[in-house]
Amino acid sequence: MNEPSAKPAPTLARYAGAEPPAPQWFRDAVDTPHERSRVEVEGADIEWLGWGERGRPGLLFLHGNGAHADWWRFTAPFFAQTHRVAALSWSGMGNSDHRPAYTMELFVAEILAVAQAAGLLDHGPFTVVGHSFGGFPMMALASRPDAPLKQAIILDTPFDQEQRRRPRDTGGDARPHHVYPTMAEALARFRWAPPQPTTNDYIADFIARLSLKPVEGGFTWKFDPFLWSDFERRDSSDPLRSPHCPVALLWGERSELVNAGLVADMIGRLPASTRLVPIPEAYHHVMADQPLALLTALRGLFA
């Protein structure tokens, strides 16, 4: 069920830069030892994180627009006993390099390069979970006959056919990020995009801190503010209609991006064998809204 909501107020301002209390499961997850490395892809260094032993079945987590690999730090470790797990930061986001221009083909190349560098292919085809924007390059790869994918899991990605027909945003309103004098002031400005309530303050705080970088004069956001003004999409085909691996569709039942009407439309375009898993009480940022429910759902899909 989707309910329209007013624009929520920033949730972290009341902490004045202090970390909100977090449950032990979360602290244990984010403190789990992991690799942090980089791989060069078409002239840009791409950051990736890794958990678990090489040689196990591969599992790759892909984040959404403006996010970064650390969004998966409290999810990925739960699969490290059975999988070789990795998460990447797209170019222009997180600690990966910015590019002069971006294409869907480059994002697909980043998936394959990280899969190779992180050892996800050592056991054969690997599984991918793509949240929001991450679902687009994932399904672009899945539509290739030679894609080395075992399963593609769409997580609240708005595959809107009408959006595909509209002229792309030229990014005329893009501008450099604001610089905040202190970390506390920057954290106080953190907002979800699209706007939604914050279910877990400790997750919002963790994500926000790792979305900022020190610069002259204070702190600013890591992601490239000009990414979408420099984005080129060359393929107009519908990747939902021709995947070459099994697909699952997960969505937040309170998501305003992937509403009930869009879910129905996506189901009509996906193969009849697609597994469907709504996540109760989750908005668009499912891993931050209902992290344990998402873990349970993913475990069921991997079983």
The model's pLDDT over 258-292, given as tens digits with 9 standing for 90+, comes to 999 999 999 999 999 999 999 999 999 999 999 99
pLDDT digits (tens, 9 = 90+) for 109-154: 999 999 999 999 999 999 999 999 999 999 999 999 999 999 999 9
Q: Give the up-direction half-sphere exposure of residue 127: CA atoms within 13 A in the CB hemisphere.
A: 21
Please write down the long-range contacts of 297-301, taking CB distance under 8 Å and 24 or more positions apart.
Answer: 297/250, 298/75, 298/79, 298/129, 298/153, 299/78, 301/151, 301/153, 301/248, 301/275, 301/277
190-248 pLDDT, tens per residue? 999 999 999 999 999 999 999 999 999 999 999 999 999 878 766 678 999 999 999 99
The whole-number pLDDT of residue 162 equals 63
Residue where the block lists tokens 């503010």: 225
140, 128 in Cβ contact below 8 A?
Answer: no
Question: Residue 221's pLDDT is what?
Answer: 98
Q: Among the ranges 2-6, 10-14, 120-124, which has the highest mean pLDDT value?
A: 120-124
**pLDDT for res 184:** 97
| Residue 163, pLDDT score | 56
Which band of pLDDT confidence, cut at 50, 70 and 90, is reported for residue 8?
low
**Neighbour-count burial of 9, counting CB atoms closer than 10 A to its CB (0-12 exposed, 13-18 middle, 19+ buried):** exposed
Residue 173: pLDDT band (50, 70, 90) is: low
Q: What angle do CA 41, 237, 243 make, to 5 degrees?
A: 75
Q: What is the DSSP letter of 77?
A: G
Structure confidence by residue, pLDDT tens digits, 81-113: 999 999 999 999 999 999 999 999 999 999 999
Which pLDDT score is estimated for 45? 98
User: How much is the mean pLDDT over the chain?
Assistant: 93
Task: Provide, rounded to the nearest whole percent, the portion of the chain with pLDDT above 90.
Answer: 88
pTM of the model: 0.94
What is the predicted pLDDT for the residue at 302?
93
pLDDT of residue 7: 59
Residue range 35-78, pLDDT digits in tens:
999 999 999 999 999 999 999 999 999 999 999 999 999 999 99
Closest Cα partner for 197 from 239, 254, 248, 145?
254
Q: How far apart (Å, rounded) are the C-alpha atoms in residues 69 and 93?
A: 9
Specify the fold of 20-160+182-302: Rossmann fold (3.40.50)
pLDDT in tens, 72-81: 999 999 999 9
